[in-house]
């Protein structure tokens, strides 16, 4: 099995606000698992990074630490059951639910594609029928929020973010535009003395569900609210894994399960089944993600009372084609194996993407015009990896990894030959320097090298870039031979762990 990591930059059609944050753009890591020429996909968002240990640096490091386990996987062989693999991965990633979820989803997707069946079928579920998503309206002025609703009329329900439950003016204005029920979301930001008096008014405005009004730690307040509220209250931030289910069953009428937050499809499916057995209201939701992640989520849609997978409609850019939503939120699952997601290399959501050699050659030519031949003898070798930093689909940076051990005596070598990768042609164009594109390229290259089984990455770095490499954990060693037309260089070296 071969695992590849990519990075994306997902911009929203509108600035997304809740009681907790404002989001204009989200970075995510897309995991691609390939076996026998077939690939499955999963996604992890750089979102609420302190709470979910989901900074880009942390997620890449966690992916690298799973490399030995992933290298031995064969979904067609003994021990290749995706659920069993999840338990092994969970032991490696106890504090990294998003990375765990991306790997779990990619492996489930791959398994379904290898079987040639839709994901819902490989999970043992019935075919989802008649799915419709709610439409989310981010926090803003009443005028802007009404404008968002007018852009998407006719949906089955509207999920409205409110900073204060007593802010009835916004609901009054929205109610003039639709008869559909409202689901309101406090994102942990409300106080009981503001919510409780507002409950009768919220009910009269057609609010039919309240999501996570209080902070996760406010269990006593949640239990009290459950007893008195005429409107069902469901948990979101309070339900992160099956271990939270007992407490949530006492304090809420239902739960919102998000596979990325739960650690993947495996625990999400277990949580939904257990919640249904307890008679809890169930919602299936998503994090800031592209079609690569949410397309798999929708395959669980037949198990829930409320579906909230409108994230692909909220995006200004995407990474490919998968889950589809019509103009009124009806969900279309592609008639393809697995999740149905198909990556599109030209989509503008990609930030760092695995590309063929001909995509990096133009960048090399621009960076080294004195060297007209941008081709390297190893460019077409099957073990070579090429990565491009992309800006609106255009390559603005490049890096290549060759399966090549360092010269004897220059760089510390792994005692096992063939365990090194040479980093070649790593650079970004002037127009994106200082934007983080180079860092994204380098951390992705390190992760890809580790997932390919490499223990070390080395290369020739120009003297002007030595500070950049030191910042990213590389050791700077002795001078390397000057390369034609490129000036003075040093050897740089770093373990992939």
What is the average pLDDT across 199-215?
97
Hunting for tokens 């329900």 — which residue is that? 157
Q: What pLDDT does residue 77 have?
A: 59
Which residues face 476 on adjacent strands?
Answer: 492
Mean pLDDT score of the chain: 92
Q: What pLDDT does residue 479 have?
A: 82
What is the average pLDDT across 307-319?
95
The secondary structure element, H or E, covering residue 274 is helix 265-277
pLDDT at 366 over 90: no
**Tens digit of pLDDT for each residue in 414-452?**
656 678 999 999 989 999 988 999 999 999 999 999 999
Binned at pLDDT 50, 70 and 90, residue 84 comes out as confident
Q: What pLDDT does residue 13 have?
A: 86
pLDDT at 126 over 80: yes
Spatial contact of 207 and 171, defined as CB atoms under 8 Å apart: yes
Nearby residues of 161 by Cβ (< 8 Å), 6 or more positions away: 17, 18, 19, 136, 137, 138, 139, 184, 185, 187
- The domain segmentation of the chain, as residue ranges, is 1-341, 355-495
What is the average pLDDT across 373-386?
88
Binned at pLDDT 50, 70 and 90, residue 197 comes out as very high
Which range is least confidently modeled, 16-20, 345-349, 456-460? Answer: 16-20
Binned at pLDDT 50, 70 and 90, residue 362 comes out as confident
Of 2 and 76, the structure prediction assigns the larger pLDDT to: 2
Q: What pLDDT does residue 76 have?
A: 67
Closest CA to 387 of 399, 403, 402: 399
CA distances from 400 to 38, 59, 366, 436, 488 (A): 23, 21, 16, 18, 20
Question: Which SS3 state, helix, strand or coil, does residue 265 take?
Answer: helix
What is the average pLDDT across 150-164?
96
What is the average pLDDT across 355-375?
78
Q: How many Å apart are CA 492 and CA 69, to the nearest integer?
A: 28
pLDDT at 458 over 60: yes
Spatial contact of 352 and 388, defined as CB atoms under 8 Å apart: yes
Residue 49 region by backbone torsions, left for phi larger than 0, else alpha for psi between -120 and 50, else beta: alpha
Binned at pLDDT 50, 70 and 90, residue 11 comes out as very high
CATH topology of domain 355-495: Aminopeptidase (3.40.630)
CATH number listed for the domain at residues 1-341: 3.20.20.120
Closest CA to 389 of 8, 103, 4: 8
pLDDT at 373 over 80: no
Spatial contact of 494 and 61, defined as CB atoms under 8 Å apart: no
Q: What pLDDT does residue 66 have?
A: 95
Q: What pLDDT does residue 203 have?
A: 97
Nearby residues of 471 by Cβ (< 8 Å), 6 or more positions away: none
Helix, strand, coil % in the chain, rounded to nearest 5: 35, 25, 35
DSSP for 72-135? T--TTSTT--HHHHHHHHHHH-TT-HHHHHHHHHHHHHHHHHHHTSBHHHHTTPPPP-S-B--E
């Amino acid at each position: 099995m071969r695992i590849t990591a990519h990075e994306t930059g997902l911009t929203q059609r509108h600035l997304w606000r809740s009681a907790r944050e404002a989001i204009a753009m989200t970075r995510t890591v897309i995991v691609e698992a390939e076996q026998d020429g077939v690939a499955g996909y999963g996604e992890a968002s750089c979102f609420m990074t302190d709470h979910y240990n989901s900074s880009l640096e942390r997620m890449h490091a966690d992916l690298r630490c799973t490399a030995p386990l992933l290298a031995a996987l064969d979904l067609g062989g003994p021990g290749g059951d995706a659920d069993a693999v999840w338990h092994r991965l969970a032991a490696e990633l106890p504090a990294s639910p998003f990375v765990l979820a991306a790997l779990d989803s990619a492996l489930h997707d791959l398994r379904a594609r290898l079987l040639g069946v839709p994901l819902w079928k490989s999970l043992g579920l019935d075919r989802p029928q008649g799915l419709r998503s709610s439409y989310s309206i981010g926090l803003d002025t009443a005028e802007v929020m009404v404008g968002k609703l007018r852009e998407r009329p006719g949906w089955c329900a509207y999920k409205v973010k409110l900073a204060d439950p007593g802010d009835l003016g916004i609901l009054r204005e929205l109610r003039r535009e639709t008869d559909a029920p409202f689901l309101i979301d406090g994102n942990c930001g409300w106080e009981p003395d503001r919510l409780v008096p507002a409950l009768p008014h919220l009910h009269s405005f057609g609010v039919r569900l309240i999501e996570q009004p209080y902070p996760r730690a406010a269990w006593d307040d949640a239990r009290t609210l459950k007893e008195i509220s005429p409107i069902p209250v469901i948990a979101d931030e309070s339900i992160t894994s099956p271990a939270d289910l007992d407490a949530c069953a006492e304090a809420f009428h239902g739960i919102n399960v998000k596979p990325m937050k739960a650690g993947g499809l495996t625990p999400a499916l277990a949580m939904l089944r257990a919640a249904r057995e307890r008679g809890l209201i169930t919602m299936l939701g998503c994090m800031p993600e592209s079609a690569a992640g949410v397309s798999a989520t929708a395959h669980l849609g037949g198990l829930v009372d409320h579906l909230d997978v409108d994230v692909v409609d909220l995006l200004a850019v995407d990474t490919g084609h998968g889950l589809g939503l019509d103009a009124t939120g009806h969900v279309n699952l592609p008639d393809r194996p697995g999740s149905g997601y198909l990556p599109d290399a030209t989509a503008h959501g990609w930030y760092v993407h695995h590309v063929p050699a001909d995509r990096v050659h133009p960048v090399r030519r621009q960076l080294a015009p004195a060297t007209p031949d941008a081709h390297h003898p190893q460019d077409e070798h099957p073990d070579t990896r090429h990565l491009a930093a992309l800006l609106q689909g255009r390559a603005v940076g490049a890096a290549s990894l060759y399966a090549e051990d360092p010269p004897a005596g220059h760089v510390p070598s792994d005692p096992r030959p063939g365990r090194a990768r040479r980093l070649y042609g790593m650079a970004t164009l002037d127009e994106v320097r200082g934007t983080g594109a180079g860092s994204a390229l380098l951390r992705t290259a390190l992760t890809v090298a580790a997932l390919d089984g490499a223990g070390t990455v080395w290369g020739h770095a120009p003297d002007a870039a030595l500070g950049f490499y030191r910042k990213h954990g590389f050791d700077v060693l002795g001078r390397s031979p000057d390369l034609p037309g490129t000036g003075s260089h040093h050897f740089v070296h770093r373990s992939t762990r």
